[in-house]
A and B are shown apart, each in its own frame.
Chain A
């Protein structure tokens, strides 16, 4: 039964990667389609296991990868976008729960290789659903809860967070049997910063609409289950390629430029970016945690001592504009800055049904955008494909509306 389930999931992946591959933004995208098609069994994880390395599963974006790499382990993000795995969670999870959490738990129950290879799973206490997911998973795999502060402003919570980072460091050292020294941490920080720099260079090219949003999101999303050095190299090559190509830019010359924000769009449920770009829009920027959010700011090291570096990577995690932090000022500021820098014409605010954090910030975000004379389309959906046609109606109407305003 597990085999047929995995086969179904593979089918879902193949379907979407084939669709994407029909009109790729560049030849370099082939690497990412290939990577995405092996999302359930990433090559670099197999390699790591073959070399005897430990695999640390993560959720969200707030667990510092640098620590995991410095300890000689390999990080892999387990946030799942499979609609099919949700049915397995009936009874355990309430129907109105976040689809991402249900899907991730359901995926775990199907034990694909990506899950089976994890030696430990770290779950940050970002939202209620994640906290309870941690409990559910702890019956099946060792789970470390990473206590994320609820506010960034207070000096006390910041220092508590740094202490949590130190604790995580110790846990990782115990796991791999390898102490984290300055050199290893410095190298890990450099690797991760280079990855982030590569993403920023890609997004800089998105300002000129040189790559479709559906492809750019895939590039960002696959960074979570690929070797960082390899991914950086490929992304730089992709940037070099699309800097020379003009097809997408010409095709999207009059398309409304849109900013995607809200609950994460997780592979393989790619319906929203596909719908938007089929309807004539182009997503030029995003602030979602499977996209830019995790890779936007670098770790800024002010002190090259071990404690200084730990503080730097801890505080970098706090620079992430997640709505799990209150107040929401930082995130709203980031959204406004992105809309300006990327010269967007409209906003797509995606809320997964049951997601209170993004849902509750939607009105405040919409009000801020209205001040900038930017219309917002709120899309509330889940991982099923039932509502595709209703979404299409809304997205088409929105794209037409924004187009009419843009072209005067």
Chain B
């Protein structure tokens, strides 16, 4: 049974559910390690409903610390992250994140013109650590900016003038440059020119990097830059959901390493039995599908629930 035909629609459905809060009803995405598609959606939402824009749990953290939201929300925030992490590790990246969906679609378009670039193993290893650095940086920034004295001292001039509301609510989001919707909203809706902030160029640059990366290296953003995914990555070795290998049937054909969009090597390289979930694994299950020997499986707490079942030769 092939799972990719199932996964892509699920990504779409969850993307819609988690982003169109007025459709979904319950707002949970600020508490999940998933990026929201605010760039595209929230400008409309903002105009229609006057809703605050935020992308990720760090935005939530920022709002709680500045008092925009109650401190009590910190509990579901960290609780949510912990729960999701311990249950499914980084699986939301592969099944629910709109940015993951965009990259997967770009990947397909890319295959029409040129082949994927494999990043050198040593570069790949070092760059993969970048997202943790970014996570630490932004987390500290969120904490720092929630202290009014610091915010007023270092950021007020720069931002207060440009995004007074946002700055009030979440000074951190004002500083967090990637895809801050206000700029794009301005560009789309032709609002007050003065609203174009100092980070416009940086934001557009990051957008370009994201799209270019997605067009050359599969899941470039997820691999090296996404600090939200990094929070999920931290749990990949200990989560209930795991990739397991039964080395007794592995013939080192290399299908799994080739199929993996995150350039994970462990499913192929490991010679023992047990977990082979690397920190970068987004549980897209392409490796499990590609294995001709039923060596890899998706397991929940030790019980395998999906083994690929590549009876490729049964179709006549």
A337 within 8 A of B: yes
- Closest partner residue, chain B, to A236 (CB atom): B316
A196 within 8 A of B: yes
B2 within 8 A of A: no
Give the contacting residue for A302; candidates B250, B251, B258, B293; CB below 8 A. B258
A311 within 8 A of B: yes
- B290 CB contacts on chain A under 8 angstroms: 300, 302
B48 within 8 A of A: no
- Closest partner residue, chain A, to B250 (CB atom): A333
A303 touches B313 (CB 8 A): no
B248 within 8 A of A: yes
- Closest partner residue, chain A, to B114 (CB atom): A305
Q: Which chain B residues in 257-286 approach chain A with CB under 8 Å?
A: 258-259, 265, 269, 271, 286
- B254 CB contacts on chain A under 8 angstroms: 152, 158, 315, 318-319
Report the separation of the CA atoms of residues A179 and B115 in the bound assembly, to the nearest whole angstrom: 19
A155 within 8 A of B: yes
- A290 CB contacts on chain B under 8 angstroms: none
- A297 CB contacts on chain B under 8 angstroms: 251, 253, 292
A197 touches B312 (CB 8 A): yes
Chain B min CB distance to A402 (Å) = 23
A163 within 8 A of B: no
Report the separation of the CA atoms of residues A318 and B254 in the bound assembly, to the nearest whole angstrom: 8
B312 touches A303 (CB 8 A): no
Given contacts A298-B312, A303-B111, A319-B292, contact A308 B116 (CB under 8 A): yes
Q: Which chain B residues in 115-172 approach chain A with CB under 8 Å?
A: 115-116, 121
B252 within 8 A of A: yes
User: What 0/1 readout, one digit per residue, does chain A (291-312) give for beta carbons within 8 Å of chain B?
Assistant: 0000001101011111110011
A329 touches B258 (CB 8 A): no
A153 within 8 A of B: yes
A200 touches B313 (CB 8 A): yes
- A197 CB contacts on chain B under 8 angstroms: 312-313, 315-316
Chain B min CB distance to A350 (Å) = 20
B249 within 8 A of A: yes
B200 within 8 A of A: no
Give the contacting residue for A304; candidates B111, B249, B251, B312; CB below 8 A. B111
- Closest partner residue, chain A, to B255 (CB atom): A300
Report the separation of the CA atoms of residues A312 and B293 in the bound assembly, to the nearest whole angstrom: 17
B292 touches A312 (CB 8 A): no
A207 within 8 A of B: no
B186 within 8 A of A: no
A401 within 8 A of B: no
User: Looking at chain A's contact residues, is the secondary structure mostly helix, strand, loop, or mixed?
Assistant: helix
Chain A min CB distance to B173 (Å) = 38
B299 within 8 A of A: no
Chain B interface residue number, banded: 20 to 34
Q: Which chain A residues in 195-246 approach chain B with CB under 8 Å?
A: 196-198, 200-201, 204, 236
- A319 CB contacts on chain B under 8 angstroms: 251-255, 292
Report the separation of the CA atoms of residues A305 and B271 in the bound assembly, to the nearest whole angstrom: 31
- Closest partner residue, chain B, to A312 (CB atom): B258
Given contacts A152-B254, A318-B253, A333-B249, contact A300 B292 (CB under 8 A): yes
Give the contacting residue for A305; candidates B115, B247, B248, B286; CB below 8 A. B115
- Closest partner residue, chain A, to B289 (CB atom): A300
Q: Counting chain A CB atoms within 10 Å of each CB, which of B114, B115, B121 scores highest?
A: B115
- Closest partner residue, chain A, to B268 (CB atom): A153
A48 within 8 A of B: no
Q: Which chain A residues in 331-365 approach chain B with CB under 8 Å?
A: 331, 333-334, 336-337
Report the separation of the CA atoms of residues A330 and B268 in the bound assembly, to the nearest whole angstrom: 12
Give the contacting residue for B292; candidates A298, A306, A311; CB below 8 A. A298
- Closest partner residue, chain A, to B118 (CB atom): A159
A321 within 8 A of B: yes
Report the separation of the CA atoms of residues A200 and B286 in the bound assembly, to the nearest whole angstrom: 23
A394 within 8 A of B: no
Give the contacting residue for B259; candidates A155, A201, A302, A316; CB below 8 A. A302
- A333 CB contacts on chain B under 8 angstroms: 247-251
B115 touches A307 (CB 8 A): yes
- B292 CB contacts on chain A under 8 angstroms: 297-298, 300, 319
A321 touches B251 (CB 8 A): yes
Chain A min CB distance to B167 (Å) = 46
Give the contacting residue for B111; candidates A198, A308, A321, A329; CB below 8 A. A308
- A307 CB contacts on chain B under 8 angstroms: 115
A337 touches B249 (CB 8 A): yes
A303 touches B116 (CB 8 A): yes
Report the separation of the CA atoms of residues A298 and B255 in the bound assembly, to the nearest whole angstrom: 10
B255 touches A315 (CB 8 A): yes
Report the separation of the CA atoms of residues A332 and B115 in the bound assembly, to the nearest whole angstrom: 34
Q: Counting chain A CB atoms within 10 Å of each CB, which of B115, B116, B247, B252 scores highest?
A: B252
- A315 CB contacts on chain B under 8 angstroms: 253-255, 258
Report the separation of the CA atoms of residues A193 and B292 in the bound assembly, to the nearest whole angstrom: 13
B258 touches A311 (CB 8 A): yes
Report the separation of the CA atoms of residues A211 and B10 in the bound assembly, to the nearest whole angstrom: 45
B115 touches A330 (CB 8 A): no
- A306 CB contacts on chain B under 8 angstroms: 115
- B253 CB contacts on chain A under 8 angstroms: 297, 300, 315-316, 318-319
B269 touches A153 (CB 8 A): yes
Report the separation of the CA atoms of residues A343 and B126 in the bound assembly, to the nearest whole angstrom: 47
A337 touches B293 (CB 8 A): yes
- B121 CB contacts on chain A under 8 angstroms: 155
- A331 CB contacts on chain B under 8 angstroms: 251
- A302 CB contacts on chain B under 8 angstroms: 255, 258-259, 286, 290
User: What 0/1 readout, one digit per residue, does chain B (231-260) give for beta carbons within 8 Å of chain A?
Assistant: 000000000000000011111111100110
Chain B min CB distance to A336 (Å) = 6
- Closest partner residue, chain B, to A203 (CB atom): B313
Report the separation of the CA atoms of residues A316 and B114 in the bound assembly, to the nearest whole angstrom: 21
Having A197-B312, A300-B253, A300-B259, one finds 11 other A-B pairs with CB under 8 Å, namely: A155-B265, A158-B254, A236-B316, A302-B258, A305-B111, A305-B113, A306-B115, A316-B253, A330-B251, A331-B251, A333-B249
What are 8 residue pairs bridging A and B, where the CB atoms are less than 8 Å apart in the complex? A152-B254, A193-B312, A298-B312, A298-B313, A300-B290, A318-B253, A319-B251, A331-B251
The 10 nearest A-B residue pairs measured at CB: A319-B253, A200-B313, A197-B313, A305-B115, A307-B115, A330-B251, A152-B252, A315-B254, A337-B249, A300-B255
